[in-house]
Amino acid sequence: MNLSRDTAHRGRISGLQGSYPGLTYRGSCSRAQHVHPLVKLVLLLSFSTAVIAVPSVLGQGFFLGLLAVFYALAGLGSTFPLRKLRFIYLFGLLIFLVQALAVGEGVLLWRFSWGPLHISIRSEGLREGLKLMMRFINIIGSSYLFVVATDPNKLAYALMQLGLPYRFGFALITALRFIPIFHLELEQVKNAQMAKGIELEGLSLKNLLRAVRYLYVPLVISALSRVDNLTISMEGRAFGLHPERTFMSSQALSTKDRIIILAIPLFFLLCYCFFSR
């Protein structure tokens, strides 16, 4: 019975990865599999810190090009982020438009007047809009790539072998594994409610409140039920009984990995100094 349940669970996850291939770790990233998880974590933190710190549009454009190179090196191709991050690009465009219209400093580039309506775009607004748009895309895109190209089990094992308490490592694995499961359950609840004739499409306030009632309330109840079942299972297996634990696989850092981990922050520090002049 447990075997059939595990098989069904794996089938659901496999089907979900076909529907949401960008939400979970993709084992097809063959090139990224050979990179140590801690190297990728340091790269993400250094990249995000540099993106936030660099104030110039040229620097943000450089990081955006560097991010495209990372996607190519991971074996995902250049079209993968274009297909999977369309909403992020649209939201970034919205940030650009808001900044371009709201900032009233700099040289006047364009003005439109129609009755009491006056719209103007200035050079400083364009600069700030481009900078914030690319900064947003860089941070979200790099985090997205990290999730897609990093095995959560290996990452948790590496952090725990580095000294992280294994309770926190287990919490990390559980959180990353539950993301696709909750998306699957959300689709199931949505299809079930729509089969009952409940209208959930549209962006009106009424539909939004209806979605909270008929979608998110059942999803929260299901999540709490899963957490309760997981807690009972962990208690039955005496999770946390011993302060130390063994690991199925070793994630030791090689000398090459240590050198790369030291070199990555130095590289982005040089980038910050160059683009902040």
Quote the CA–CA distance of 245 and 215 in Å, as a whole number.
40
> Residue 78 has what pLDDT?
64
> Residue 135 has what pLDDT?
95
List of residues 6+ apart from 51 with CB closer than 8 A: 60, 63, 135, 138, 139, 142
Question: Which spans in 196-245 are helix H?
Answer: 205-211, 217-236
Note whether 15 and 86 are same-domain residues. no
The count of other CB atoms within 10 Å of the CB of residue 166 is 19
Report which of 174, 214, 210, 209 is spatially closest to residue 193, judged by C-alpha positions. Answer: 214
Q: What angle do CA 29, 30, 35 make, to 5 degrees?
A: 95
Distances (CA, A) of 252 to 144, 152, 159, 249: 25, 16, 10, 9
Q: Which domain holds residue 72?
A: 28-150+249-277
> Residue 30 has what pLDDT?
59
Note whether 123 and 18 are same-domain residues. no
Note whether 93 and 201 are same-domain residues. no
Structure tokens at 155: 């990452």
The count of other CB atoms within 10 Å of the CB of residue 277 is 5
Note whether 142 and 257 are same-domain residues. yes
List of residues 6+ apart from 40 with CB closer than 8 A: 32, 146, 149, 150
Query: Which pTM was predicted?
Result: 0.74
Q: How many residues are present in the chain?
A: 277
Note whether 67 and 182 are same-domain residues. no
Number of independent structural domains in the chain: 2
Note whether 52 and 137 are same-domain residues. yes
Note whether 97 and 187 are same-domain residues. no
Note whether 100 and 11 are same-domain residues. no
Note whether 165 and 126 are same-domain residues. no
Note whether 138 and 44 are same-domain residues. yes
| Tens digit of each residue's pLDDT (9 = 90 or more) over 235-271 | 888 877 777 777 777 788 889 999 999 999 999 999 9
Note whether 3 and 37 are same-domain residues. no
* Residues of the chain where predicted confidence (pLDDT) is lower than 70: 1-24, 27-31, 77-78, 202-204
Note whether 38 and 112 are same-domain residues. yes
